[in-house]
Amino acid sequence: SKDVSYSFLDSEEIIARFVARDTLDLKTIEWLMTASQATADVLAVRRGRQVILEPEPGFALKKGDVVILKGSFEALKAISNVLGIELFAGKISKDSEYKEILGDLIQIRNTALVMVDLAYTSVLTKSEELAEKVVDLEDYVDRMLETFERKVLMSDPLPLDEKLALLHIAMASEGISDAALKMVQPLLAGLEPHDIIAEVLEETYERISVIEMDEEDEGKTLSELGYSKRGMTVLAIKRGDEWIVMPPYSGFKVRKGDILMVKYVSESEKYLDELEKEEDREEIIEDIQEEEWEEE
């Protein structure tokens, strides 16, 4: 039965919802994540007319609860397997023009979110190269938005209220890209980011840190490393003096000594500690900062 539906499949993260069955009654969110060996963000639980936002891991679910989660496809698939239900994509529209417009909107949104991640990473590592990548992407978003606006306005099948909604989301995403650009402008102007930024990015809900590859990781693809299932996204890889931004998960193979810049949620902290101890992560980040700032 189609009990779990998801949207934004082409996104880095997708949103899914399911209705809790008898087997999940009084089971906690923490139990669900442990049983599935996955990490996802439970955005909300609707219980009758009550909506619980960002419930704690110890929150006990009840039969009939509508649970809304955000995470990678791999994580949500693992959770749906534990629940014994199918993960499927909800139908949006049969209209090919509408699908194309929605695809463009997702691309604008995803690019803006990637820019924010790269901006934080560039400030954390003091990397001008990553900051310049943010500048390039901001220009790309501006050009995409111009094309998107024209396409939406010229679409006859779309009613006016839907056009306004699509344009509003697109312009909000463009605003996010502008904010990411502002984050890296001081770095590009030659101002050194304060070291406290590293501490801040270790304490927020979505965090950025590093993992160094060893002999056991040599030759594995990013998919084979299995980080996505545990709520971790590889943003960039430092290989010697080279930065590889948003490498493909299925084709890119890591090497010993590669340093992976990863974004993760706080629930993944324990898993990250198993891969790279906190003190080692701090030392790696400091080494990168010194290398990158010396190059400036």
Q: How much is the pLDDT for 91?
A: 53
**What is the three-class DSSP state of 257?**
coil
Q: How much is the pLDDT for 11?
A: 45
Q: What are the pLDDT digits (tens) for 132-149? A: 999 999 999 999 999 999
User: Which residue ranges in the chain fall short of pLDDT 70?
Assistant: 1-12, 88-97, 295-296
Q: How much is the pLDDT for 158?
A: 86
- For residues 26 and 253, give the distance between their C-alpha atoms in angstroms, rounded to a whole number: 42
Domains and CATH numbers, the chain: 4-89 (3.30.70.1450), 96-188 (1.20.58.220), 205-295 (3.30.70.1450)
Model pTM score? 0.79
Q: How much is the pLDDT for 127?
A: 95
Q: How much is the pLDDT for 255?
A: 96
- For residues 219 and 255, give the distance between their C-alpha atoms in angstroms, rounded to a whole number: 6
Share of the chain above pLDDT 90, in %: 61
E strands within the chain? 4-7, 14-19, 41-47, 50-53, 66-71, 87-89, 206-212, 232-239, 242-245, 259-265
Q: What are the pLDDT digits (tens) for 225-236? A: 999 889 899 999
